[in-house]
Each structure stands twice: as C-alpha cells, then as structure tokens.
Structure 1
Amino acid sequence: MAVPDEPENDPVTAYLLSTFRNITRGRRFLTTMAGAFPLPLSAREISDWLEAYPPAMARAEIDEVVFTLDALCLAEDED
C-alpha cells in the first residue's frame, strides 16, 4: 500500500487521524488456515478508545470519519 501525502495538519484533521490510527491498533483479525484477515472496526473498538480518551467532538462525527477511513483502508488491502 502506497503511503499517501499528508493532509493539511489543522487540529481537527490531526485529531481524527490520530484517533483512527490508535483505534486501529485494537483491530480484530479472522485467522484461518489461509491466513489472517482484518475485520472492519466496530463501534466497540471506537467506544473503548473514547472511554479512555474522551472525544474532542461529537461521537457521530468521529464514527463517520473512522468508519469511512476504515472502509478505505480495507478496500485498499483487497486490491
């Protein structure tokens, strides 16, 4: 996977990217004889992170960004 250029580093973008990066550290994997496959993030992984680090913005906005970034990352892995 090619590393994309860094987006502008305004505080909201930096917070959301950091939050996504940290939430993905708790990603679950389906392990089979064929290998390990990443599962989509769930609301539980997001909740676990936000309980430890209270959000700086509305939960609905964080969910939307995290789920969108996750879908993009998983789609990239399929290619």
Structure 2
Amino acid sequence: MVVPDEPETDPMTSYLLSTFRNITRGRRFISSMAGAFPLPLSAREITDWLEAHPPAMPRSEIDEVVYTLDALCLKAEEED
C-alpha cells in the first residue's frame, strides 16, 4: 500500500489518528495455511487502550472514528 504524505492536522485530528494507530497495535489476526488475516478492531481493543490513556473526547466519537478508519484500512488491505 502506498502511504501518502500526511496533511497538516489540528490537535484533535492528531489525537484521533494517534489513538487509532496505537489501538491497532493490539489488533488480532486469524492464522491459517494461507497466511495471517487481520480481524476488525473490537470494542475490547479500544477499551483496553482508553483505560490506560483516558480519552480527550466522548467515547462514542472515538468509536465512530476508530471503526471508520479501521474499515478503510481493512478495505485497502483487501484491495492490495
């Protein structure tokens, strides 16, 4: 996957992108003879991160952003 240059961001966008990046470090995978395949992020992975790093905004807003970014990343992975 080609990684584009990062656009300039405001503090809230930077917080959300950083939060997503860190949550994905706990992503689970399914392994098979064909390889390892990423699973969508779950509420548990988000909760684990937010319990250790109290959020700067409502959980519902974080969930919406994280799930949307996750879906975009998984879709891009499928297309490669």
Pairwise TM-score range, normalised by the shorter structure? over 0.9
Q: Deviations over 1:27-71 (max 9, x none)?
A: 000000110000000000000000000000000000000000000
Q: How many residues align?
A: 79
Which residue in the other structure is 1:33 paired with?
33
* Greater mean alpha carbon deviation, residues 25-34 or residues 2-11: 2-11
Q: Which runs of 5+ in 2 are unaligned?
A: none
The TM-score normalised by the length of structure 1 is 0.97
- Percent identical pairs in the alignment equals 80
Q: Which amino acid aligns with 2:48?
A: D
Q: Which amino acid aligns with 1:27?
A: R
CA root-mean-square deviation: 0.7
* Superposition deviation, residue 14 in structure 1: 0.3
* Superposition deviation, residue 17 in structure 1: 0.2
Which residue in the other structure is 1:73 paired with?
73
The TM-score normalised by the length of structure 2 is 0.96
| CA–CA distance in structure 2, aligned partners of residues 7 and 64 of structure 1 | 21
Which residue in the other structure is 2:11 paired with?
11
Q: Which amino acid aligns with 1:44?
A: R
| CA–CA distance in structure 1, aligned partners of residues 56 and 73 of structure 2 | 24
* Superposition deviation, residue 6 in structure 1: 1.1
